[in-house]
Amino acid sequence: MKKIAIETVNLHLRPIENKDAVALFHYRSDAITNKFQGWVPKKIEDAYEFIKKNPAEFDIVDSWFQVVIIEKKTKVLIGDIGVHFLDTDKKQVELGITIAKNYQKKGFATEALKGIIYYLFNNLNKHRITASIDPENINSINLFKRIGFRKEAHFKKSLFIDGKWVDDVIYAILKNEWK
């Protein structure tokens, strides 16, 4: 069984657990802050269901694995990263990140993503990491560009979310491009 625990200077990343449900619900249910998210819980039970769906192991093909982001100094859960293991050769993953409103624009997302990307490339020998982003989500686009991702595609009205068709842009980085 592959476990994951990542330490950065200011953060601890670990698999999501039931004890995280209240904190997860608190920042994820903010529909305005999370308007670009594919999942916004309406009630606390939604958070428990979300956690229950997390695979028992890290690096299972065609699964999303949620890792929570804990600020070391305060021990507060400040966000989460979804890692989508995409293909049968186990060499490609997609990332998505959510940071609580009060912890945005403080470098935590950059630090957390760098930590998980380092782990994926160096510990699991992944070849390519992508991010699917709404083109109106400028903050996420800038975040992924800042850590070295490049734009690979722009799909017009390719996702049906909340009753409407929306565009999708793909950013990616290869292992040999990661610094």
Domains of the chain (ranges, CATH numbers):
6-177 (3.40.630.30)
Alpha-carbon 158 to chain mean position: 20
Give the end-to-end CA distance of the chain in Å, rounded to a whole number.
29
Dist CA 35 CA 109 (whole Å):
17
Dist CA 52 CA 50 (whole Å):
6
pLDDT beneath 50, residues of the chain: 1
Count of CB atoms situated within 10 Å of the CB of 125: 10
